[in-house]
Amino acid sequence: MALDPKIRINLDRSRVLLIDDNPQALEALNSMFRGFGVRKQFKCSSGAEAMQVVKSQELDLIVIDSSMPDMDGYDFVRWLRREAPDISKFTPVIMLAGHAARSMVEKSRDSGANFVVSKPFTPEVLLQRVFWVAKDERQMVVAEGYVGPDRRFKNMGPPLGMKGRRKDDLSTHVGAATAPNMDQSDIDMLMKPAKVQL
Amino acid sequence: MSEAEFVKVKYRLAEQVAQPGGMTAGLANERAQRELAAHAGDAMKSLGNMIGRLEVMCREKTATLDVVYVEGSTILDIAGVFDKRVLCDACYSLCELVDRQRTHNRPDWASIGVHVSAMRLLWSKDGEDPASMKSVVDGLWAITDRLNP
């Protein structure tokens, strides 16, 4: 389900790190986030370069391509979640994934990114994921084999606007009010036992 | 083995998106589309060059499967950001095919060549006649699926 186009979103003050080894894809991402209203963007073409930014800047979101030479997106997120300075360790991450080679499936699952967006995608989909990340209330799990958001959505309900995969999945988000608030006398009336004629 | 620890995290991003001001999601999307459109021409040119490099590899038949895979995933990278859906599907099939071939250690330039020619066609007909283009991609997947994962 698409993001409601009327929802207001303010990314003016967000500091976003974009990482992609392909200069054209990096420039395209930069343009998309400029369109979303993000003023402060850091662009990196490698994991090593991005590590320096993480060590020296406070970031609100990291968007990284999964396949890069030397240090791929998965290795970067592993480093971030385990070895980055404490202030940056749990920075939300959106991973952009192209083809998932068989050898990469487990690595991808265990990397610790908040969301994976598979290519091709539109700016609309990317914005929706940014919104989901902002509303992501899952706890971080710190375990020997995995550091990242709790992969179980069951307790939190599916992301906002999504139906969920199980028949008993209910979103925990309460939508915006559609009618004026009840006044106190209406509420009192609801609580007041009243005789009914059967 | 030590027990897993659960840490409650509050993202600054959550507070920022809810600040007064900003813009509607619809406007943000429109602005991003406009910004992206400025790069689309250059991206198509680069995609054409990359398909050209794959064509040379198919003629010379000397490149390793890893090299073909990397070139294919770079095309997927760029085409994916620009939402070139059909070209991406074809390229995904090529990456999958090459991945299966390297898993089984069975390089087959003929099937790679068919993919590359199809990608050239899809690139040149960008956005035209989606139904026929989809049938081309379905054909590519039929070739890829002949080899077990």
Its ipTM equals: 0.87
Q: Is A120–B82 a contact, with Cβ atoms under 8 angstroms apart?
A: yes
Chain A residues inside the 8 Å CB shell of B4: 141-143, 146
Indicate if the pLDDT at residue A156 is higher than 70.
no
Q: Is B62 helix (H, G, I), strand (E, B) or coil?
A: coil
Q: Is A37–B28 a contact, with Cβ atoms under 8 angstroms apart?
A: yes
Q: Is B5–A124 a contact, with Cβ atoms under 8 angstroms apart?
A: no
Under 8 Å between Cβ of B23 and A37: yes
Q: Is B73–A37 a contact, with Cβ atoms under 8 angstroms apart?
A: no
Q: Which of A127, A123, A42 is nearest to A88 (CA)?
A: A42
Q: Residue A8: which of B22, B46, B149 has the nearest Cβ?
A: B22
Name the residue ranges covered by the structural domains of chain A. 15-149
Q: Is B39–A92 a contact, with Cβ atoms under 8 angstroms apart?
A: no
Q: Residue B22: which of A6, A32, A37 has the nearest Cβ?
A: A37
- Domain architecture of chain B: domains with CATH: 39-144 (1.20.120)
> What is the fold, at CATH topology level, of the domain defined by A15-149?
Rossmann fold (3.40.50)
Under 8 Å between Cβ of B63 and B125: no
Interface of A with B in 153-192 (CB under 8 A): none
| pLDDT tens digits, one per residue of A74-129 | 999 999 999 999 999 999 999 998 887 777 777 777 889 998 888 888 999 999 99
Q: Look at A156-170, B25-39, B54-68, B77-91 and tell me which has the smallest mean pLDDT.
A: A156-170
- Looking at the DSSP assignment, which residues form a beta bridge with residue A40? A15
Percent of chain B past pLDDT 90, that is, above it, reads 80
- Looking at the DSSP assignment, which residues form a beta bridge with residue A117? A96
